Amino acid sequence: MSDELDLINAARTGSVDAFTELVHQYRDRLLRFLVTRCQSFADAEDALQDTFLNAFRYLHTYDARWRFSTWLYRIALRNAAGFRAPEGADPDTLPAAGSDPLEQCIAASERENLWVVARRVLNDDVYAALWLRTVEDMSVRDVATVVNRSESWTKVNLMRARQSLDEALSDSAAPGRSEVYG
């Protein structure tokens, strides 16, 4: 952490090398998060670029009492709003896979993928919270900060999200959409 703080302080004083190192440390994780929030990979890359531009521009506002990753994810979440992915597509409205075994395998894999199901059954805030807690291994407190909700809201909705995913995954025959609200 002190190395990161040294990089942040150096970047604040104008060190391009220090900021470039911060970009290298967070680029892949942020891009992976943004891909789940944007319509396309290109949109996610654009949102990532905007995130780092905003981070550089407003680095002077970063408060070292908070984790730097939390601050970056909060910026990324705001930037992703401009490249919002459509609500999860209903598998029944997707084009049917042809007789090609590869197409059938891809279609089956998409129906079974946890994050595809999560995108379909959870609202945007809950999906982001679940991703940050599960994939990025952020604390509940940090997740709450990124999604701008209380820790109580975060805990309750993480529990509801898991329950909704359990139901959706165990009841694969019913294509209905259930929303988790908070």
- How far is it, in rounded angstroms, from Cα 81 to Cα 94? 24
Q: Position of tokens 């075994």? A: 101
- How far is it, in rounded angstroms, from Cα 72 to Cα 94? 34
Q: Was domain 98-170 assigned CATH 1.10.720? A: no
Which run of H or E residues covers position 7? helix 2-12
What top-level class would CATH report for the domain 2-83? Answer: mainly alpha
Whole-model pTM: value is: 0.65
Q: What does the pLDDT read at residue 177?
A: 44
Q: What does the pLDDT read at residue 90?
A: 38
| Mean pLDDT, rounded, for 123-147 | 93
Per-residue pLDDT band at 56 (split at 50, 70, 90): very high
| Mean pLDDT, rounded, for 15-22 | 95
The one-letter amino acid code at 137 reads D
Domain boundaries of the chain, sorted by first residue:
2-83, 98-170
| Mean pLDDT, rounded, for 48-71 | 92
Q: Position of tokens 């007789």? A: 99
| Mean pLDDT, rounded, for 62-72 | 91
147-167: buried (b, 16+ CB within 10 Å) or exposed (e) per residue?
A: bebeeebbeebbebbeebbee
Which range (8-17, 87-96, 120-129, 144-153) has the least confidence? Answer: 87-96
Q: Position of tokens 């979440």? A: 77
Q: What is the DSSP string of 16-74?
A: HHHHHHHHHHHHHHHHHHHHTTBSSHHHHHHHHHHHHHHHHHTGGG--TTS-HHHHHHH
Q: Position of tokens 């139901």? A: 167
Residue 144 has pLDDT above 90, yes or no: yes
Which range (4-8, 106-110, 120-124) has the least confidence? Answer: 106-110
- How far is it, in rounded angstroms, from Cα 79 to Cα 43? 10
